Chains A and B, each alone.
Chain A
Amino acid sequence: MTVMQHVWIVLGVLFVLLNIGAGLIWVERRMLALWQDRLGPNRAGPLGILIVLADTLKLFFKEDWVPPFADKWVFIIAPAIVVASVLMSFVVIPFAPGIVVADLNVGLLFFLAMSSIGVYSIVLGGWASNNKYALLGALRGASQMIAYEVFMGLSLMGVVMMTGSFKLTDIVEAQRDMWFFIKQPIGLVIFFIAGIAETHRLPFDIPEAESELIAGYHAEYSGMKFGMFFIGEYLGITLISAMTATIFFGGWLGPEFLPGWVWFFTKTFAFILFFILLRASLPRPRYDQLMEYGWKILLPLVLANVMITGAVLLWLKG
């Protein structure tokens, strides 16, 4: 590939991602409205799609407040970390054959590392705000995210065993005969649950539970700094959906009559809708229920999954 092609891939990926992140504002509100039997935003533009523009402009013109009692620089850096870490994770995802920013041979580890860095945004943001709600939200977020990180990494090990590689293009190519969700159903379920907890989306949004903590760790944020937490959350949903599609549902693979990237985006979008459906339908568990569910049910299950997968694979090989 020429230099210019690489540059276009980099810019194109970023352009598409930021547009998806913003567009999800509209998608989520319309879909929630549909499932809750109401209208949702329908005034600005056809079907209310210009709500995206209106919301973005509003956030840019809102007061950009740095509290005098806060840690100024940490307060500013925290929302930047969440956007940066999520956007960087997309580097390793193959959108179509050949369309990947950098096909690292440590792809999966890079993704896990970046999602670990995302924890810092919550902890630093909540601490720097110097607000009691924010402090509680930050503590909850930290314990939830570092707990579910363990299961997230281990749930992918079955796939790594079958592929023998952390590289995501290798993982997609290995699914030519059969998508991995058939061979690794438990891995898929645990990965997805851990993904919801990592992006702290409903039903696992206890770091920002508005009925108890106002807005949790971003209670003191306003303007585009709040908007960056917001975009970071939507990009996080897109990331987990894209990873699920890539690792368990064959990424760009699909019947030949459509190009690879169409299959990839169709699958990703299906999981994004599933995220929104979960938000529309499930209540939020208590904090201790979430943590005990993770350590007492998911961890033994994920270890059993690794052991059984290993034994069956070796036995089949003979």
Chain B
Amino acid sequence: MEEQNNTPQEEGRLTNAQLELQADSQGPTEVKRITYSRLIARRFFRQRSAVIGLVILIIMILIAIFGPFICAYDYTEPDFTALNVAPNARHWFGTDGGGFDLFACVVHGLGRSLVIGITYSLLTTVIAATVGTAIAYMRGWGEKVGMWLLDMLLVIPSFLLVAMIVRASSGTQGWIMLIIGLTAFGWIGYARTLRTMALSLRERDYVRAAKYMGVPSFKIIVRHLIPNLGSILIIDTVLGVISGINSETAYSFLGLGIKAPDTSLGYLLSQGSSAMLSAPWIVLIPSAVLIVLCVSMQLIGDGLRDAFDPYSRAAGSVGDQEDEKKDEQENADAEAQTIELH
């Protein structure tokens, strides 16, 4: 940015400060000031695929919340008059061999998947961000011991440990244990990646300045290191939901996750896979729901990535080049005011 600090005569090559002054003098009608978060939101909504993903996700969430109210059947109450029937007017998604209404099961499973995916993703991000940056910040012995611990936790197959913990729990509490188990071992690899990213951050001047001013380490980590990883953390939280959903499906399918009387999409798949020939809808409908759910999250994640990327097309063609560069610098400060010319 220093290089562009030249004479104000050259139009379009003003510094940001000069641009701001200029903008101020033109009065509030010419320039609309928006916050960083609004800028990102605007860039996000510029992308059609991201908006489609978001709409699908919102519809999915609404179905998961209000589905049980519009469905005449409960996922725990079998309808013995209709065993293994194909989708029809009474049972929208058909029923399985036990007479359970598949629509009710899918709605409940969708809710489970969403809750597990979102909670897992939020928890792992918080833990991984704190631990990863803390290890990077500590240096010396703390860093060595921390890295060794992370390496070791990677060697233990987390699959085994999660499965053991979840299997020991009861049917109705299984999903909580599944979240705990997945989270307990899901943050490790992620923390390693974040540590690598934080390595360059810890050398920054503002971190050193804060340190010499006597700001406590924990505060530096929370105030300076973690917000600087902000955009990565947000994107990874969205994509983390997908891996949470995938894990839930895998564990439940293997009979190590959610089990009866509770139900989930993975559990439905495992039930349906044995009757694939006689009742294909039991397998195909949860599969379709899972695919739509995961792809919508992926679209949102991609959209967010482009929105945060100052060089992507989502920045739009109207924006001044200087603004785009500025965004990158101001990732840190979500409160900072940015200007976008119109």
Same complex: no
**Which residues of A are in contact with B by a Cβ distance under 8 Å?**
none
Measuring CB to CB, which residues of chain B are less than 8 angstroms from any residue of chain A? none
